[in-house]
Amino acid sequence: MGDGTDASTQNVQDVLQQELVAVLDRLGVGVLALDGQKRIVWTNTASLALLSCSAEEIVGRDLHALLHPDVRRVPSSRAAEEDEGAPPDTPEDRTWLARRDGSPVPVRWFPLPVKDDAGSGVRLLAFDADADGSRHRPAGPSSPTRTLSERDRLALLADTTAQLIYNIDVDESLRRVVDLLLPRIADWAVIDLITEADEVNRSLVVHAHSGGLKIREDLQGPMPPVPASSPMPLSKALRGVASTLAGPETYDVPPDSAVAVEQRKLFTATGIKTAALAPVKGPSEVLGAITLGRTAGEEPFTQADLDLLENIGRRIGIALENARHYQRQRQVAATMQRYLLPQLPRPAGVEMTARYLPSPDASHVGGDWYDAFPLPNGDTALVIGDVVGHDLEAAAGMAQLRNMLRAYTWAQDDPPHHTVERLDRAMGHITDVSMATLVLARLTIEPSGHRALRWTNAGHPPPLLLDSTGRTRSLGDGRGILLGASADRSRPEARVLLPPGSTLLFYTDGLIESRRRPLDAGLKRLREAAAELNQRHLDDFVDELLVRSRPADNDDDVALLAIRIPPTP
pLDDT in the model for residue 437: 96
Question: Can you spell out the DSSP letters for 36-66?
Answer: TT-BEEEE-HHHHHHHT--HHHHTTSBGGGG
Fold classification of 2-136 (topology level): Beta-Lactamase (3.30.450)
CA distance 503 to 542: 11
The alpha carbon of residue 525 and the mean position of all alpha carbons in its chain are separated, in whole angstroms, by 30
Report the candidate in 260, 127, 561 with the shortest Cα–Cα distance to residue 385: 561
150-329 classified as CATH 3.30.450.40: yes
- Name residue 191's amino acid: I
The pLDDT profile of the chain, 569 residues, written as one tens digit per residue, is: 444 445 444 554 454 456 667 767 776 678 888 887 888 888 888 888 788 788 888 888 888 888 877 554 433 333 333 344 444 444 446 777 887 767 677 787 776 665 554 455 778 888 777 655 544 444 444 444 577 777 777 878 888 887 777 666 778 888 888 988 998 889 999 999 998 888 999 999 999 987 789 999 999 999 999 888 899 999 999 999 889 999 888 888 888 889 999 999 999 999 999 999 999 998 888 999 999 999 987 778 888 899 999 999 998 888 888 878 777 776 776 676 666 678 899 988 899 999 988 776 655 556 889 999 999 999 999 999 999 876 667 778 888 999 999 999 999 899 999 999 999 999 988 888 889 999 999 999 998 889 999 999 999 999 999 999 999 999 999 999 999 988 788 999 999 999 999 999 999 998 998 877 888 899 999 999 999 999 999 999 999 999 999 887 777 789 999 999 998 87
Question: Residue 98 in contact with residue 68, Cβ under 8 Å?
Answer: yes
Report in angstroms the alpha-carbon separations of 290 from 108, 213, 227, 249, 513. 33, 17, 17, 19, 41
Q: Is the dihedral of CA 325, 327, 333, 335 positive or negative?
A: negative
Question: Residue 531 in contact with residue 474, Cβ under 8 Å?
Answer: no
Question: Residue 467 in contact with residue 502, Cβ under 8 Å?
Answer: yes
Report in angstroms the alpha-carbon separations of 81 from 72, 88, 211, 235, 252. 11, 9, 26, 52, 52
Question: Residue 443 in contact with residue 423, Cβ under 8 Å?
Answer: no
Q: Which residue spans of the chain are classified as CATH 3.30.450.20?
A: 2-136
CA distance 561 to 104: 65
Kindly report whether the global pTM for this prediction surpasses the value 0.85.
no
Collapsed DSSP state (helix, strand, coil) of residue 229: coil
Q: Which residue spans of the chain are classified as CATH 3.30.450.40?
A: 150-329
Fold classification of 342-564 (topology level): Phosphatase 2c; domain 1 (3.60.40)
Number of other residues whose CB lies within 10 A of the CB of residue 113 = 8
pLDDT in the model for residue 168: 65
Question: Residue 356 in contact with residue 370, Cβ under 8 Å?
Answer: yes
Q: Which residues contact 212 (CB under 8 A, 6 or more apart)?
A: 139
Report in angstroms the alpha-carbon separations of 29 from 109, 243, 275, 401. 10, 36, 32, 74
The strand pairing partners of 453, in sequence order, are 443, 496
pLDDT in the model for residue 209: 84
pLDDT in the model for residue 190: 95
Type and span of the H or E element at 440: strand 436-445
Q: Which residue spans of the chain are classified as CATH 3.60.40.10?
A: 342-564
